[in-house]
Structure 1
Amino acid sequence: MTIRQYGDEGASMHLHVMRIFFLTEYIMSRFLLSLLVLATVTSITPATAQDTATAVAVMPKVGQVLRDASGRRLGAIERIQDGAVMVIMDMHMYRIPTNTLSLNDKGLQTSLKRADLR
């Protein structure tokens, strides 16, 4: 039997079935997309998430004191430019990349040693 044999009710039923089909397809595609996003987010290791949080939290400011890897005072930040902070030490300007900076109980610290800067 075809839709024509059922008349208007058959055509109406056919449209209803098609709507349900497309709605189900839409819901399934959204569900699969959600699962993909969830799988991607949960695949990030806790260490990576922690490193990212630390990197985002460090916002150096001009005048802030910077310490080296051993905790010794390097100097105050004079300038911030192009992903680095500029510090004057022993009458020389040193460029220290911001990706080496972290905050701890002593304040702003770089992972570089004083000897690495020279």
Structure 2
Amino acid sequence: MDVSTTQLQPSKSNQDGSTSSKKKKKISDGSEQISASITNAAIFLGEKIRTVHLELSRSIASEKVIQESAQKLYPALCEIEGLTEDERYCALSKITDHPTQMLIFFSLHSSVRLEW
């Protein structure tokens, strides 16, 4: 048998090694992309959570100011000379329906509150 014309073919183990390293590289690239996507999503969620936290804190603080003002409203109305009891209750119900009006009421000088 003449072996001089036979071409040397790469061994199967060498082909598998080359294919295997290509697969590993593809898997590694895919893993890096997934990892980067997860990291970006975590950063995005963290930023959104901080934003919601700040907005919620402001809302709670505002609600607390309104509640404190509501508790002080009737005594403040009692201090206004010239208001009847019915007028106090009417003012109390109207002002508490609109929390910003309550804040305006307390920002006024006591001598102006009756006119308001």
For normalisation by structure 1, the TM-score amounts to 0.41
Higher relative contact order (CA 8 A, sep 6+): 2
For normalisation by structure 2, the TM-score amounts to 0.42
By percentage of residues, which structure has more helix? 2
By percentage of residues, which structure has more strand? 1
